[in-house]
């Protein structure tokens, strides 16, 4: 199968999606949309030029343009609305959390809101306290939203297709630090279903449940640990809502040792929920305490060594794995 860089797969998906369905409108700043501040941002600008009627640059009004996308979704379009840096989603919180998430339920299933919110989350290197949010935990606490966290070229393409096809409000949370990851991507169209975890690496000793960039860090840690004789299984849920808990528990029952790795702040983060569910279901199936690798509970500092100090690094994942087999 052909190999593509993550960013290529992501761009290919978007182009196919916009070209293939008139109902798709993409609302974003053209300079930084979709690809953020990455070197590939000009490639998004090319797509914007190709579809000038359907790639639309709004004012700096996240609340209103997210609301606009919610309305457009109610009225038959399939809008993708780009918050770009995930921190800016906080500006649109009322529309995402209190309108989009609730509309289908409050109407008892009458009103569908097939909108996709696109966010670039996480510690990106120098984003500091106000530009480094990973809001997926806050969003997981808000029922009514589908939450997607791709981690590989194949996944980013297939999951983006499914996100746009979904009839529900979907938060698509990407990470610029993934953009240069290489991987196989089939030529043919392969939407990836929501709620199907992917075992990114097989191993018998420890299960690591990781999301987004932490999948790549966990795979790197697993390589290192293989040299130390520890065989790590890396499970990537790919979507938090819906969550494929069965696949996770099947791996846990096999290895009996678990590390959860996620980039949100630790308290009430995604790792907390994963840990809680595994602890509930796995009480008598575990051979060691579940360990959690997450961002420390402090605002994000700007300086390199400070940011590093609070990050869930590859080294910290490796350490947690070692501790759990010790």
Partner 1 sequence: MLVIRHFEEELIALHAEGHARGHFHVCIGQEATAVIALSFAGPGDYLFTTHRNHGHLLARGAEPGRLYAEIMGRRDGYNGGKGGTLHTVYPAGGFHHTSSIVGGIIPIAAGTAYAARARNTGALSVCLFGDGALEEGAAPEALNIASLWKLPVLFLCENNGKYGPGAASGAEQSRTMAAYPLTDLPRAYKIPAIQVDGTDAAEVFRAASEAVAKIRRGEGPQFIEAQTVRWPGNESNWPVAPIATRLPLAWDPGPVPERQREWYRSCDPVLLFARELVARNVASREELARIEEEVLAQIDEAAKFAIASPLPDPAEALRDVFAPMERA
Ligand X SMILES: Cc1ncc(C[n+]2csc(CCOP(=O)(O)OP(=O)(O)O)c2C)c(N)n1
Cα–Cα distance measured from residue 93 to residue 96, given in angstroms and rounded to the nearest whole number: 5
138 binds, among partner 1, a copy of itself, ligand X, none (CB under 5 to 8 A by kind): a copy of itself
Residues between 253 and 282 with contacts to a copy of itself, criterion CB under 8 A: 264-265, 267-273, 275-276, 279-280
Smaller CB separation from partner 1, 128 or 286: 128
**Residue 29 beta carbon to ligand X: minimum distance, rounded to whole angstroms:** 6
Beta strands in the chain (DSSP E): 3-5, 26-27, 55-56, 80-85, 116-120, 146-148, 170-174, 182-184, 198-201, 206-210, 232-236, 239-241, 258-265, 291-295
- In the numeric block, which tokens belong to residue 85? 């840096």
Cα–Cα distance measured from residue 50 to residue 108, given in angstroms and rounded to the nearest whole number: 39
What kind and span of H or E run contains 260?
Answer: strand 258-265
- Four-residue CA torsion sign, 195, 314, 299, 39: negative
Smaller CB separation from a copy of itself, 128 or 226: 128
Of 12, 16, 91, 131, the catalytic one is 131
> Chain-centre distance of CA 208, in angstroms?
17
**Site for a copy of itself (CB under 8 A): how many residues?**
48
Smaller CB separation from a copy of itself, 98 or 180: 98
62 catalytic? Reply is: yes
**In contact, 28 and 54? CB cutoff 8 Å:** no
**In contact, 178 and 214? CB cutoff 8 Å:** no
- Crossing angle of helices 6-20 and 41-50, in 10° steps, is 10
146 catalytic? Reply is: no
249 binds, among a copy of itself, ligand X, partner 1, none (CB under 5 to 8 A by kind): none
Binding site for ligand X (CB under 6 A): 60, 62, 88, 91
Of 62, 263, 273, 314, the catalytic one is 62
Residues between 87 and 106 with contacts to a copy of itself, criterion CB under 8 A: 87, 90-91, 93-94, 97-98, 101-102, 105-106
**Residue 131 beta carbon to a copy of itself: minimum distance, rounded to whole angstroms:** 9
Q: Annotated catalytic sites, by residue?
A: 62, 131
Residues that bind a copy of itself (CB under 8 A): 87, 90-91, 93-94, 97-98, 101-102, 105-106, 128-130, 133, 137-138, 140-144, 241, 264-265, 267-273, 275-276, 279-280, 283-284, 286, 288-292, 297-299, 301
């Amino acid at each position: 199968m052909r190999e593509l860089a993550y960013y290529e797969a992501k761009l290919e998906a978007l182009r196919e999606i916009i070209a293939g369905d008139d109902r798709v409108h993409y609302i974003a700043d053209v300079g930084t949309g979709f690809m953020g501040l990455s070197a590939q941002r000009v490639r998004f600008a090319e797509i914007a030029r190709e579809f000038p009627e359907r790639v639309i640059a709004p004012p700096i009004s996240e609340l209103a343009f997210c609301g606009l996308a919610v309305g457009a979704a109610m009225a038959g379009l399939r809008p993708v609305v780009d918050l770009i840096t995930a921190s800016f989603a906080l500006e649109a919180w009322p529309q995402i959390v209190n309108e989009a998430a609730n509309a289908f339920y409050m109407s008892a299933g009458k009103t569908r809101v097939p909108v996709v919110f696109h966010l670039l989350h996480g510690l990106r290197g120098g984003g500091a306290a106000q530009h480094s949010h990973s809001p997926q935990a806050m969003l997981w606490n808000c029922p009514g939203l589908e939450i997607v966290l791709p981690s590989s070229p194949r996944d980013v393409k297939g999951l983006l297709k499914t996100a746009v096809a979904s009839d529900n409000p979907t938060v698509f949370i990407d990470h610029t630090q993934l953009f240069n990851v290489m991987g196989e991507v089939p030529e043919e169209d392969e939407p990836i279903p929501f709620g199907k975890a992917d075992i990114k690496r097989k191993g018998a000793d420890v299960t690591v449940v990781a999301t987004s960039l932490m999948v790549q860090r966990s795979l790197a840690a697993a390589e290192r640990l293989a040299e130390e004789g520890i065989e790590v299984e890396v499970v990537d849920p790919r979507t938090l809502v819906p969550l494929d808990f069965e696949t996770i528990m099947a791996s846990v029952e096999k290895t009996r040792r678990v590390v959860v790795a996620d980039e949100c702040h630790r308290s009430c983060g995604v790792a907390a929920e994963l840990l809680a569910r595994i602890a509930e279901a796995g009480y008598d199936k575990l051979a060691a305490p579940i360990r959690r690798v997450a961002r420390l509970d402090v605002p994000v500092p700007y300086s390199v060594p400070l940011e590093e100090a609070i990050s869930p690094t590859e080294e910290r994942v490796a350490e947690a794995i070692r501790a759990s087999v010790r």
